[in-house]
Amino acid sequence: MGKALDGIRILDFTHVQSGPTCTQLLAWLGADVIKVERPGTGDVTRGQLRDIPNADSLYFTMLNHNKRSITLDAKNAQGKDVLEALMRTCDVMVENFGPGVLDRMGFTWERIQELNPRMIYASVKGFGPGPYEDCKVYENVAQCTGGAASTTGFRNGPPVVTGAQIGDSGTGLHLALGIVAAIYQRVATGRGQRVLAAMQDGVLNLCRVKLRDQQRLAHGPLTEYSQYGEGVAFGDATPRAGNDSGGGQPGWILKCKGWESDPNAYIYFITQAPVWAAICKVIGQEDWITHPDYAKPDARLPRLKEIFARIEQWTMTKTKFEAMDILNEYDIPCGPILSMKEIAEEKSLRETGTIVEVDHPKRGKYLSVGLPVKLSDSPADVVRSPLLGEHTEEILRDVLRFDAKKIEEIKASGALGGAKPMAAE
């Protein structure tokens, strides 16, 4: 069975996380991704957070599946010629260099269009056009400038960054969508185009409910926030809300049996209005079904702290899985706080390909995430990440159609790495 992006070739100039997330998604969907790396060192993450000596780190392997690697010195004249040949034959070029790096290499957008008018040139940057566009950005900087950190954490505490990589991987997801849209538009126009995903923009897109709440503040307090029920006045910006639900249904994280020794013995519990009567019955508080202080959603809002404290008395008598089983019988929305260990061992995630086991020639077997989107006619096979320069000759021969003599000339020039041979005296 074919893949959704069969026939699409990606020139991958990306490194670290945001760009590789994007190109890995495209590779899982069937694109031929050619990762260009610096001879000798390659992507810096090959050696970062390394847990096994002399083997590519999990940081690298889990972001570079299904790709081919070519090592190339872009400062070498022959190396630059190879890059230009790759640009002529590829459909998409993806990069997440610092601002202006490709321009200084001689690959401006105008030059790229000269080489290949159908090329889609996709970039991850920290900021879009504006006063900060030349600033360097990493994951947590993006979270802080995109509105996530200021709205995450507890009201009386400092801003907090989330464990989810919404700045890097989140922006990579956005860029992949833009690339696929540009490929589709090219069918009609015949032209390539530039695609830009700024990390600040990507984070803000994922924080849209907080921008919603910022505007609601002009018309009164945010009644679903727990501080409303506690009588704490709102300021002029969307506040940090702890574990309050981001939607219109109040929610909170509650202790379960074993919380004293297990840091993840908790459950997220939502007091959804349609199942309020069922909640009251489950926790043994049936008088709340009709009591005027609790019967209606608006009446409950000032009392959320008290309500969740009462529900927690019940959840503390159950493990998080026991509580979930009981609550699901009544269609009460909830979810256990799962540790990474529990997720890694969850059988159902292995069966769906959400978590996959990959075998690597130097580090052995390891776990990775798989494609999070399931296509019925384009199943994703996760193939191990490439060794540094593993496919260099293959790409020169099969993609660029260079003959053996040409390949030897390129090697001799030092463009692929290694010392350039000394001229005979």
Residues catalogued as catalytic: 168
Rounded Cα distance between 9 and 24, Å, is 12
